[in-house]
Amino acid sequence: MLKPGMFISDRYEIIDSVGSGGMADVYKAKDHRLNRFVAIKVLKPEYSSDKSFVNKFRGEAQSAAGLSHPNIVNVYDVGDDGGLYYIVMELVEGITLKRFIERKGKLDVKEAVGIAIQIAQGLEAAHDNNIIHRDIKPQNIIISRDGKVKVTDFGIAKASNSNTITSNAMGSVHYLSPEQARGGYSDEKSDIYSLGVTLYEMLSGKVPFVGDNNVSVALLHIQGEAAPLRELEEDIPLSVDKIVQKCMQKKPERRYHSASELIVDLKKSLTNPDGDFVQIPAFVTDDSPTINISDDLNKIKNGSYYNNDSDYLSAYSNNNYNNNHNNSEIIDDDEDEDEELDTVDTKMEKIFSVLTIVAIVVLFIAILFVVVRFIFPKGSKKPQGNQTATVSPSLEPTEEPTPSIEAEPTVETYQFPSVIGHKFEDAKAAILAKDPDAVIIPQEEYSSEYEAGYVVRQYPHPNTDFPVGSEVTLYVSVGPENFALPSVYNMSKAEAEQKLRENGLVPKIESMHSNDVEEGKVIRTEPAKDSLVKEGDTITVYVSLGPEIVLKPVPNLIGKTLRDAESLLREAGLRVGRVNKESSENYASGQIIYQDTTAGELVEQGTKINITVSTGPKAKPTQPPKKKYIGTLIIDDINPLEHKELAEAEVILEMEQGGYSTEIYNKRTSASDFPIIVPNIEGESASVGIVKMYIDGEVFRLNEGDQAYEWYVEFETVEE
């Protein structure tokens, strides 16, 4: 095993292990040359010294390297580093279709058809390049986080123009086409059969054929008939059921002839689910007959065709990778095989038939012996009368029958119980009561349906025959998963309720007045946005009733400065309105000489009070030379738009000086325009100018309820 931090070929840094199979391990790595993350498939050390294994491993890269399609995992590079043989592939973050089916039990029809279309599109690209995958199954389909479906693991792919008999080991037996199970010729239609089985499992949650061992499953593919989907699930449309039936026809010529044809019908089924447009051809003469080889039958019997599945990387047997031969070598091999097949004559067939009959007789005697031994165990009293003849001397225990009995051992199984909804300890006890040798592996899983500590899912499924001593996986709830509460601020009541319910939360509506949020919009939530919550939590949503009508007395502003007046009005819950300027012989410059609402009068909270500010006595004819006051404003201590989480807004800067209010900046501004510098501001005097900012008409405050944020401008005196 490679460790994180190790480098391959001074380029690929190992980040983490992804999965492991029979011949190779898969790692997540970083390509430092192209600065991207990749998946690296590394041949296991025990196979690196075997030249044939290395050639087959490289053959996988050659099978897939020429394929570039959105629904196929891309191969980027292949190489070796000091005897370490590797393939560099596209890294797809996601889960296998097998795990996806296990999580959901079965898929929605549209979801399953959509996935099947993407798989078929990947196969279409492979078939167009004369590449047959030969191991299509949910374990070799990855669904990325963005929903893209990708076909991976061309480990036992074969060039379709090689015309070879599939006497080598194939993929998982549950998805094997009949011609592959027989050891016959495989082509594009073999992949279509496997895709049909995969679609069957997506829609029903189970594979069409299940047996005690691989041989029985393979024979069911050859001879058995799968239960129609509509008998298992009534809501499956007629068109989809017939598409699956056509894909899974025993005779290849009765299936879809290409992935392109299959894609057309799958797309039709989405728009016309109940249409009867799928045509399954009547039986015709097989134009690609299966050639039976006795050696192939032996391989089926001893199970050498099949292997176990892995979640991310399939564990292939030694023959699961392409030979690293060119096409001419493959054709030569096929010609040799054809010559050997021609030598098989009827005499050999007769010998094989005789041997088969002998084997059946021996097996019958062995079974009879076991039955007799069970009914009359050793040491018991022999039965009287005619029953004595049943136990003949030839059936007494000897050393000879033993090999015949053990020639085809059976796997001891038990009916697996349903433990979903039970506490983990209770579930464990129930399983061990059935099988004390069971290996129970707990896996944590979030669940809003079951409390923490209870079993959410199980593998195997309830009431299935399961081998004694095998691994059992129990998915144990750790409670609902926490997530950040989504923001519903400023949404309408209906929009907020819908969004919260979509996230599994329970909205509770409360109403309150607000001077800042319009009526019917959400003011805030409790808990606040981005707080950690879990499915089923109740969220209190406060919806605005609009401003609350409150009457406030108007303070006396006459004789006060503009700043004092603003402070008095703010304390009274009122605001400064329009500011006019007038000369006055009685009030100094900057003092208020008029307010449009009489002091003591009750007005609605938030009302604006218009005022007039004195500019001092009128200028006399003999005045000294007029002076000019110039200043510069720099706003670099804070970015108000970022503080308000706004990308851009209408920004107005208003300066107050000596009782006068002057607009010095008004434009559409983005957050990136800060800091803002406003030069050559003309002031009324040498006194400091006070600047306030209005964002989309609202005065800028650091926090709700604070005073308006202010900046200051200092002026220099310039004589005109």
Rounded to 5 degrees, φ, ψ at 171 are -80, -160
Average of pLDDT values for 606-627? 82
528: CATH: 3.30.10.20
Residue 289 has pLDDT above 60, yes or no: no
pLDDT band for 364, please (50, 70, 90 cuts). Answer: confident
Residue 500 has pLDDT above 70, yes or no: yes
pLDDT band for 107, please (50, 70, 90 cuts). Answer: very high
Average of pLDDT values for 671-680? 93
pLDDT band for 534, please (50, 70, 90 cuts). Answer: confident
Where among 460, 477, 494 does a domain terminate? 477
Q: Which region among 46-50, 233-237, 349-353, 618-622 has the lowest average model confidence (pLDDT)?
A: 349-353
Tell me the torsion sign for CA atoms 350, 352, 355, 361. Answer: negative
Q: Are residues 514 and 391 in the same domain?
A: no
Q: Which residue has the higher pLDDT, 543 or 342?
A: 543
Q: Which region among 30-39, 136-145, 281-290, 642-651 has the lowest average model confidence (pLDDT)?
A: 281-290
Say how far apart CA 513 and CA 523 lie, in whole Å. 9
In a domain, 126, yes or no: yes
Quickly list H helices, 147-249. 178-182, 188-204, 214-223, 229-232, 238-247
In a domain, 155, yes or no: yes
- CA nearest 320: which of 494, 195, 171, 465? 171
Where among 387, 406, 425 does a domain terminate? 406
Average pLDDT, whole number, for the chain?
80
pLDDT in tens, 574-587: 999 999 999 998 99
- Is 463 strand, coil or helix? coil
Place of tokens 């047997």: 317
Residue 212 has pLDDT above 90, yes or no: no
pTM of the model: 0.43
- Host domain of residue 655: 627-719
β-pairing, 7-8 vs 131-132, is: unpaired
> What pLDDT does 373 receive?
62
Burial of 622 (C-beta count, 10 Å sphere; 0-12/13-18/19+)? exposed
Q: Are residues 220 and 259 in the same domain?
A: yes
Q: Which region among 71-75, 364-368, 436-440, 602-606 has the lowest average model confidence (pLDDT)?
A: 364-368
Residue 561 has pLDDT above 60, yes or no: yes
> What pLDDT does 526 receive?
93
In a domain, 17, yes or no: no
Average of pLDDT values for 311-320? 32
* Number of helices followed by number of strands (H, E) in the chain: 18, 34
pLDDT band for 423, please (50, 70, 90 cuts). Answer: very high
Q: Are residues 385 and 529 in the same domain?
A: no
pLDDT band for 623, please (50, 70, 90 cuts). Answer: low
Residue 170 has pLDDT above 70, yes or no: no
In a domain, 15, yes or no: no
> What pLDDT does 660 receive?
85
Sequence-ordered strand ranges (E) for 535-675: 538-544, 551-553, 575-582, 592-595, 602-604, 608-614, 627-635, 648-657, 660-670
- Is 610 strand, coil or helix? strand
In a domain, 88, yes or no: no
Q: Are residues 272 and 352 in the same domain?
A: no
In a domain, 80, yes or no: no
| 516 given a catalytic annotation | no
Q: Which region among 13-22, 236-245, 510-519 has the lowest average model confidence (pLDDT)?
A: 13-22
- CA nearest 290: which of 358, 221, 350? 221
Residue 185 has pLDDT above 80, yes or no: no
Residue 164 has pLDDT above 60, yes or no: no
Residue 629 has pLDDT above 80, yes or no: yes
Q: Which residue has the higher pLDDT, 551 or 361?
A: 551
Say how far apart CA 21 and CA 24 lie, in whole Å. 5
Q: Which residues pair with 690 in a beta bridge?
A: 656, 712
Q: Which region among 30-39, 41-50, 695-704 has the lowest average model confidence (pLDDT)?
A: 41-50
Q: Which residue has the higher pLDDT, 324 or 498?
A: 498
**Residue 360 is inside which H or E element, if any?**
helix 346-375
Q: Are residues 456 and 562 in the same domain?
A: no
Residue 555 has pLDDT above 70, yes or no: yes
In a domain, 27, yes or no: no
Residue 426 has pLDDT above 80, yes or no: yes
> What pLDDT does 403 receive?
33
Average of pLDDT values for 53-81? 80
**DSSP letters of 414-437?**
EEPPP-TTSBHHHHHHHHHHH-TT
Q: Which residue has the higher pLDDT, 680 or 368?
A: 680
In a domain, 379, yes or no: yes
The count of domains in the chain is 6
Q: Which of 10, 77, 128, 135 is catalytic?
A: 135
Q: Are residues 364 and 310 in the same domain?
A: no
Q: Which region among 15-29, 197-211, 348-362 has the lowest average model confidence (pLDDT)?
A: 348-362
Q: Are residues 368 and 444 in the same domain?
A: no
Residue 25 has pLDDT above 80, yes or no: yes
Q: Are 654 and 661 in contact (CB under 8 A)?
A: yes
Q: Are 212 and 465 in contact (CB under 8 A)?
A: yes
**Is 251 assigned to a binding site?**
no
Q: Are residues 137 and 175 in the same domain?
A: yes
> Which range in 203-212, 298-307, 458-467 is most confidently predicted, on average pLDDT?
203-212
Q: Are residues 273 and 379 in the same domain?
A: no
Interhelix angle for 188-204 vs 97-104, to 10°? 20
Q: Are residues 603 and 679 in the same domain?
A: no
Q: Are 32 and 25 in contact (CB under 8 A)?
A: no
Q: Are residues 370 and 503 in the same domain?
A: no
pLDDT band for 547, please (50, 70, 90 cuts). Answer: confident
Say how far apart CA 548 and CA 569 lie, in whole Å. 18
Where among 477, 502, 527 does a domain terminate? 477
**DSSP letters of 122-172?**
HHHHHHHTTEE-----GGGEEEETTS-EEE---TT-EEGGG--B--S--S-
Residue 318 has pLDDT above 60, yes or no: no
Q: Are residues 571 and 436 in the same domain?
A: no
CA of residue 695 relative to chain centroid, distance = 41
pLDDT band for 144, please (50, 70, 90 cuts). Answer: confident
